[in-house]
Homo-oligomer: A and B are copies of this chain.
Amino acid sequence: MTDCAQCPVRDQAICSSLSDDDVARLGQFGRLQRLRRGTVLQWEDEESLLVGNVIEGVLKLSSTASDGREQTLGLAHQGDFVGRPFGPKSAHSVVALTDAQVCTFRRAEFDSFARTQPELEHDLLERALTDLDRTRSWLMLLGRKTAGQKIATFLLDMVERARASGAPECGPVTIELPCGRQEIADMLGTTIETVSRQITALRNRGIIETPGTRRIMILDREALVLLTEAE
């Protein structure tokens, strides 16, 4: 049981489609969980038992091949919904990329509640469609782009996210990476060495600066955009 009225994502998560009364009902079987970086919320191929909202931090969805190579399937930020409602099992793991807080529900309970709330289901639908669009562009990235294009696209995505949080429209921006090189490689379907080399190449060409290992200053956005398109 959680105090939803004070929840930082009350107006951002799926809860925003519910009245105060309904949020209170949903909150009755919600559970606030703090996750340490690296904690696994849901294992790949395990029966899907939990769904929930990300309150703070970043989670990643990932899948691991039999040979151990990992592919990140998506990220979930503040306000995002994670888990697979209305289905018996989840096809991927959910892992905390940073320390995080989530508000979880048992899937069965959430499902039956959701079925009584058309507005909530509509919100879930919109989110699923958006995720689908995003995931599909990622297909393009993984299937057809070169290492250089992947990195450029990734950086511009980060810039976009920073812009959404108030960074300037143009001119140099400094972005804080939510993860290390290995995680970037896992997202882009490449290796840590290739990521490192590509970043070095961009620095040498004066397109970016790297004041810290997880901090990148974008000096020339236009050049990055060109790099996403062709070599």
Contact = CB atoms under 8 A, between A and B. Distances in A.
Interface string A130-148: 1111011111101111000
Contacts of A214: none
A31 interface: no
A152 to B, nearest CB: 12
A145 B63 contact: no
Nearest to A66: B229
Given A65-B140, A118-B118, A136-B91, A129 B74 contact: no
Interface in A164-189: 188-189
Nearest to A187: B143
A128 interface: yes
Interface string A65-88: 111011101100000000011110
Interface centre among A124, A128, A145, A229 (most CB of B within 10 A): A128
Contacts of A142: 139, 142-143, 189
Nearest to A62: B140
A189 to B, nearest CB: 3
Interface residues of A, number: 43
A144 B91 CA distance: 16
25 contacts: A63-B136, A63-B137, A65-B140, A65-B229, A66-B230, A67-B230, A71-B144, A73-B136, A73-B139, A74-B136, A84-B129, A85-B129, A86-B125, A87-B130, A91-B136, A115-B122, A121-B125, A125-B125, A128-B128, A128-B132, A131-B132, A135-B136, A139-B139, A143-B188, A144-B189
Interface of A: 61, 63, 65-67, 69-71, 73-74, 84-87, 91-92, 115, 118, 121-122, 124-126, 128-133, 135-140, 142-145, 188-189, 229-230
